[in-house]
Amino acid sequence: MQKPFTTQPELFVTTSDLEHPSLHALDDTEAVLDWSKIEPILSSIYASQTGRPSYPLLTLFRGLLLGVWYRLSDVQLSQCLYRDLLFRKFCHLELGGDVPAASTLGRFRNELVEHDLWERLLGEINRQLEAKNIILTEGRINIIDATPIEAAQSGSGKGKDGQPKRDKEAGWHVKKDSRGNLKSTYGYSIHTGVDEDGFIQRQTVTSGNVHDSIERDTLLLGDETALYADAAYSSKETRDKLERFGIADQVQRKGYRNKPLSAEDKRRNDVIAVTRAGGERPFATYKSRYGLARTRFMGLAKNMTAYGIAAIAHNVRKGAKFLTLYGLPDSTCAG
């Protein structure tokens, strides 16, 4: 049985001697969204009206976001929820009360996988940011790109049960580095479409051996004014599709054997690269800031959700930063 998030105490802390600026570090994150509109999306989880009350779903969801922002495993996150007042405040957990165990957090994440909810959650959060003109939809562009992520189990060998340790749903991603040498990564590919401000609009995860261009249509919005992408997406099919949709073609050209790039195409690629580079910034956030250069889970579905939560965490914090720096933009300035 669910406990509603709204009945949870704001924070047991009411005495002034416990008031400290560090307890307000996530106030911008609290303010940027109407969190009550997120709870109904989660309502299908633990929907039974009988049994022992569970933790409020928003408490668990917020906990997973904290785990991403602070690079914590479920065990570390549960420990921090015990001892960190800021974490308790953000998750509405009362001082001295129980906190979700690592297994509870893991089961909740598995329920998100089972119910395939991360896309709906990302869509609702983006809708709210759009309504506040933090994400601008009028005249927006779409920058698509992909990056390989090494699988949690990528080595050879077998476990105690005699089964291969390697993640069966991952695959080999082979790509040339800046020096022209082939680099192979056994794992998954994260494909994203972001706007010019770096907000993630679409995301998908595939086995590492899936070519970037295969996910092109999944990442297309249909209402973008221009599509920016590297040469991996360059093809006559792409150019024809963009022309049909009235989307400006800002996909870099690639050369072929016996047909190298012209000087004009090279100049065009250089100009596009300035904007296209923005599509790589979320990957830098995932890998450097969130510690997600390597998967933490086995299987495509679990990693789809794990990186979906990372996309949500990325957009929420970026939206909160925009709110702090600029306030709410005037609706007349949208676009």
Give domain limits for the chain: 5-115, 137-298
**Topology at the third CATH level for domain 137-298:** Nucleotidyltransferase; domain 5 (3.30.420)
Amino acid identity of 203?
Q
**Which one, of 317, 82, 73, 96, lies nearest residue 197 by Cα?**
317
Collapsed DSSP state (helix, strand, coil) of residue 220? coil
Which of 223, 188, 186, 185 has the alpha carbon at shortest distance from 202?
A: 223
- pLDDT digits 0-9 by tens, 36-52: 999 999 988 865 444 44
pTM, two decimals, is 0.89
Q: For 104-158, where are the E strands, in sequence order?
A: 141-150
Compute the chain's Rg from CA coordinates: 22
| φ and ψ of 119, to 5 deg | -65, -40
Per-residue pLDDT reduced to its tens digit, 317-329 = 999 999 988 886 5
Q: Which residues of the chain have pLDDT under 50?
A: 13-16, 48-53, 332-335
Please, what is the end-to-end C-alpha distance for the chain in angstroms?
A: 44
Helix or strand (DSSP H, E) at 78: helix 74-83
Tokens (6 digits) for 241:
């599709």
